[in-house]
Amino acid sequence: MIYQVLHTTTYNYEHGVSFCHNIATLKPKDVVGQKLLDYHLDINPIPEEISEKIDFFGNIITRFSIQKQHSKLKVTAKSKILKEAHNIPSIYNNPDAQKITLQQALLHLKSNSSEVRHIKQFCLESVLVANITSNIKDYAEVSFKPNRSIFEAAFELMQRIYTDFEFNPEVTNVATPIHEVMIIKKGVCQDFAQIAIACVRSIGLPARYVSGYIETIPPPGKEKLIGTDASHAWFSIFIPYFGWVDFDPTNNQIPSNQHIIISHGRDYYDVPPLKGVIYSTGKNKMKVSVDIRPIE
């Protein structure tokens, strides 16, 4: 399947901005099962400085600066992506990986190999997955037992979050602490991914945050509306001798062709679509529109 993605972010500034410096994490990754065919980033006003680099986590980021007065900033990322989920190694075809237990995984993490050293960073607390409370650990331990398969445990954790938490975009924001989300059991995909990551890390295993998109399918007989798709987030757990396995607790499924990967990080803070600093006063308003359409 080939998808075309249009992601537009618009800022309107009450009193204008004299200078801004930004980092955009909007370029989809080339990974197994996903190939970036075309990409263009349109920024208005046109930046005086712009550059592209690969960050610590292997994501492609764009840095840009606008050094003249402006009252509006519009950033549009247009991507064409080929999804071939059948090329991704499936854990269902690897019985040995499916059987790796928590006890075995923790023993594997004691190795000092270069691979394990890189993986261990995803065991640590991060900016938004910090101060992991006892109730989060208790919630994790319902699924994760010493002699149980960590794949089975992660799959069950995904199902439990899907069942126990309510999707509600009105009650949280990007700064809402995970312990508050755990109490109210409401939030959005970002919150659910970070709760899952906190659970996995609480029992000593590596988990990472995945930022991307998911295609939404309209009800039968209804036409798809422009801008109704959304930025999405899910989580991955590392299974020794196999690799990373993705889980989407918002939709209770292992991601496939409908999931488009933009970036990986420790939590949302590492990979927001757009972040930066401005010189300005007054209020500003942000509007985001995402449209994903299959074209073949």
Q: What is the pLDDT of residues 38-49, one digit of tens each?
A: 999 999 999 999
Tell whether the model's pLDDT for residue 88 goes beyond 60.
yes
pLDDT at residue 114, as a whole number: 85
* pLDDT at site 134: 95
Bridge partners of 166, per DSSP, are 186
The predicted structure's pLDDT at residue 282 = 87
> What's the pLDDT at 228?
59
Q: Say if residues 28 and 5 touch (Cβ distance below 8 Å).
A: yes
pLDDT at 32 over 90: yes
> C-alpha 79: how far from its chain's center?
17
169 or 218, which is more confident? 169
Q: What are the Cα distances from residue 148, in Å, to 154, 199, 204, 211?
A: 10, 16, 15, 28
Q: Is pLDDT above 90 for 113?
A: no
Does residue 56 carry a pLDDT above 90? Answer: yes
Q: Using an 8 Å Cβ cutoff, are 286 and 72 in contact?
A: no
Instruction: Write the CB contacts of 19 (distance below 8 Å, at least 6 apart in sequence).
Output: 65, 66, 67, 278, 279
| pLDDT at residue 230 in the model | 74
What is the C-alpha end-to-end distance of the chain, expressed in Å? Answer: 6
What pLDDT shows up at residue 27? 98
> Average pLDDT for residues 125-137, to the nearest whole number?
95
17 contact partners, CB below 8 Å, separation of at least 6? 66, 69, 70, 71, 73, 278, 279, 280
3-state secondary structure of 43: strand
Give the per-residue pLDDT at 252. Answer: 94
What angle (nearest 5°) sits at the alpha carbon of residue 153, between those of residues 148 and 159? 155
Taking residues 115-135, report their average pLDDT.
93
Predicted pLDDT of residue 219: 66
Q: Are 1 and 292 in contact (CB under 8 A)?
A: no
Q: What is the pLDDT of residue 26?
A: 98
**pLDDT surpasses 60 at 226:** no
Q: Which two tokens stand for residue 257?
A: 């062709």
The torsion defined by the Cα of 79, 191, 72 and 226, in degrees rounded to 10, comes to 50
Q: CB neighbours of 121 closer than 8 A, spacing ≥ 6?
A: 206, 266
Per-residue pLDDT reduced to its tens digit, 133-158: 999 999 999 999 999 999 999 999 99
pLDDT tens for residues 168-214?
999 999 889 999 999 999 999 999 999 999 999 999 999 999 999 99
Structural contact between residues 102 and 205, judged by C-beta atoms closer than 8 angstroms:
yes
Structure tokens at 188: 């959005």
Mean residue pLDDT of the chain comes to 94
Instruction: Count CB neighbours of 118 within 10 A.
Output: 11
Burial (CB count within 10 angstroms: exposed 0-12, middle 13-18, buried 19+), residue 287: exposed
Q: Specify the pLDDT at position 157.
A: 98
Residue 295 structure tokens: 């074209």
